[in-house]
Amino acid sequence: MRSKSTELMGQISNYIGDYYRQHHSTPTTRESASAVGLSPAAGYKYLVEMDKRGMLSYENGEITDLPKINKTPTGYFSAPLVGSIRCGDPETEEAEVEMYVSLPEAIFGKGEFYLLRASGDSMEDEDICDGDLVLIRKQPDCEVGDIVVALDENSENTLKVYGGIDKRTKKVILKYANEAVYPGKRILVGELTVQGVAKHVIKAL
């Protein structure tokens, strides 16, 4: 191969960028070569040349840096998974980030989100079951019928349906959503801080 095609370099660069955005890692030499119709040996020579031109870093047969390739996952956001929350009586929880999950804006929308792992059975009528991941949009307000992460005056949190204000006691109503197990059950709290509203449920089928 006497000369290197700049068009092929561009194709390799695009492939590596797309691969990185999808897998959060770089492809192998063989994968990069195969993607543009080159043999592994020819792909190796192209990657060496791209390294010389500062398009990427290629050391010991591995692509280690992509200075001129867009690595940013466009249309995605990272939501921290901050542990479990009771779908039952309020329970004190400390948020500890377990991992960050990349999610597409096209499906889940834009905003500031976090994920919670549901624990308990009190929200099953809303299709939230034990072990499901619930995507929460951070916001301080809510409307009647919203599924909220509620922090009460005792700094205890729970996942419940916001039921408005009880006319008799003037307290906030947090409703269970499992009529078969907890018919008509609700919690009344004097003070309520909304830590977010549930927008999506991610579960295994």
The pLDDT tens digits of the residues spanning 118-142 come to 989 999 999 999 999 999 999 989 9
User: What's the pLDDT score for residue 2?
Assistant: 53
Domains in the chain: ranges and CATH: 6-65 (1.10.10.10), 77-202 (2.10.109.10)
Q: Please provide the average confidence, as pLDDT, over all residues in the chain.
A: 86
Please tell me which residue in 39, 160, 167, 185 is annotated as part of the active site. Answer: 160
**Is 122 an active-site residue?**
yes
Please tell me which residue in 122, 138, 175, 199 is annotated as part of the active site. Answer: 122
**pLDDT class of 1 with cuts at 50, 70, 90:** very low
Distances in whole angstroms, Cα of residue 122 to Cα of each of 66, 98, 142, 144: 48, 24, 20, 18
